Amino acid sequence: MDVVSSLPLVFNAPARGKPPLHFADLDEAGRIAAAEKLGLPKFRANQLAKQYFARLNADATEMTDLPAAIREEVGEALFPTLMTPIRHVATDSGTTRKTLWRLHDGTLLESVLMRYPERNTLCISSQAGCGMACPFCATGQGGLDRNLSTAEIVDQVRAAARALRDGDLGEPGRLSNIVFMGMGEPLANYKRVVDAVRKITSPEPNGFGISARSVTVSTVGLAPAIRRLADEGIPVTLAVSLHTPDDELRDTLVPVNNRWPVAEVLEAARYYADTTGRRVSIEYALIRDVNDQPWRADLLGAKLRKALGQMVHVNLIPLNPTPGSQWDASPKDVEREFVRRVQEQGVSCTVRDTRGQEIAAACGQLAAEEG
């Protein structure tokens, strides 16, 4: 049974606002069939794929290798406008840029592009809003609006790759890394996310040719979906947002823990590591006086060592304050002690550099507000 449809109702997005079918929703056979439907020979499907995935072009009027007479028809049938940028906000001297998009049905969505000396990372959204209701997260407060379509996920990547190529963020560059850490729980929109990952990682012209190792899919721990992802044969990095090693607190911090408790999540993570050979990332937002106690660091280290051995790395995330929230980041000395204790258990652990904090673009801050 489909993992997503087996989830409680709260995890199923309402079926409203269905986005128009787009070229990026289709696989190779679908693209050929769509071209044929327009009376175009098979080679045109390949040409369109090159335009979209290699030249990063989604505007048929710019596709100069297509006969001028058919560009408009191709545009209307296969390249409807999926997202319109409403606002770009930059910070970190212009190296971090958050974009607010409006989708065809008015749904708002955000993605964040971060330039580093050695890589360019795009943080993308997989759902509009999120139904997981983590109390410390801005996105979770608004609930789930709807699932994004494959093309709505993929087109965030195309737009960012194009912006980088065209030098919109300084020196022209190439998009190298994708993290599914924006709005939404990626594994609750399983089929579309996996389809999008295949398009992100397939070589041109069937995809953007970004290495699977450079793609991170994060989850709050939907254990059956983690196992299913392990069996897909695309060795992306799995990031599990654990946030605490004990069920008692996790039941409130990450409500889905009531369904799949810590032990089950770690078992699924082990299966992922064994099947893909990839080390699993454990995300841990350190919250003052909530989950930052020394005994929790010891317990986290011990549980991870037992479950995953060397196949795990802990990313501590200093909590990003959200407006009006009572949650706060831990003091630096508490953070250092936490790291030391986890490492003492033989588990690798570092503090993540949190980019974009001042533009509310860091993890758990994507609330897509228009104001």
Q: How far is CA 10 from CA 177, 262, 311, 312, in A?
A: 31, 21, 33, 31
Q: Count CB neighbours of 330 within 10 A.
A: 22
Q: Does 132 sit near ligand SF4 (CB under 6 A)?
A: yes
In the window 166-225, what residues touch ligand SF4 (CB under 6 A)? 183-185, 220
Q: Which has the closest alpha carbon to 203: 23, 28, 22? A: 28
Is 189 annotated in some ligand binding site? Answer: no
**Which parts of the chain fold into alpha helices (H)?**
28-37, 42-49, 68-78, 138-141, 150-165, 190-201, 223-230, 247-253, 262-276, 294-308, 332-344
Given the residues 36, 62, 110, 344, the one annotated as active site:
110
- Residue 139 near ligand SF4 by CB under 6 A: yes
Question: Is 134 near ligand SF4 (CB under 6 A)?
Answer: yes
241 annotated ligand binder: yes
Considering only CA atoms, which of 72, 156, 74 is closest in space to residue 111? Answer: 156
Sheet of 280-286: strand order equals 83-91, 96-103, 108-115, 120-123, 177-180, 215-219, 237-241, 280-286, 312-318, 348-351
**CA–CA separation, 71 vs 67, rounded Å?**
7
Sorted by sequence, the CB contacts under 8 Å of residue 273 that are 6+ apart come out as 279, 280, 308, 311, 312
To the nearest whole angstrom, how small is the minimum distance from the Cβ of residue 159 to ligand SF4? 21
Q: Name the segment binding ligand SF4 (CB under 6 A); options: 16-24, 133-141, 156-164, 321-329.
A: 133-141
Strands 144-147 and 177-180: unpaired
Shortest Cβ 47–ligand SF4 spacing (Å): 38
Residue with Cβ nearer ligand SF4 (121 or 127) = 127
Task: Determine if residue 104 is labeled as part of a ligand binding site.
Answer: no
DSSP tag of 369:
-
Quick one: 243 or 341, whose CB is closer to ligand SF4?
Answer: 243
Nearer to ligand SF4, 139 or 237 (CB): 139
Residue 19 is a binding residue for ligand SF4 (CB under 6 A): no
Using the rule CB under 6 A, which residue among 130, 179, 226, 312 binds ligand SF4?
Answer: 130
In the residue annotation, 110 being an active-site residue is answered as yes
State in angstroms the smallest separation of the CB of 253 from ligand SF4: 9
Quick one: which H or E segment has residue 256?
A: none
Of 76, 363, 369, 370, the catalytic one is 363
Using the rule CB under 6 A, is 124 a contact of ligand SF4? no
- 109, β-bridge pairs: 101
Q: Does 140 bind ligand SF4 (CB under 6 A)?
A: yes
CB of 135 to ligand SF4, least distance (A): 8
Question: Look-up: residue for tokens 């290699």?
Answer: 54
CB-CB contact of 19 with 104 (8 Å): yes
Decide if residue 96 touches ligand SF4 (CB under 6 A).
no
**Catalytic residue at 363?**
yes
349 is an annotated ligand-binding site residue: no
One residue of 364, 365, 367, 368 binding ligand SF4 per CB under 6 A: 364
Catalytic residues: 110, 363
- Contact residues toward ligand SF4 (CB under 6 A) are 130, 132-134, 137, 139-140, 183-185, 220, 364
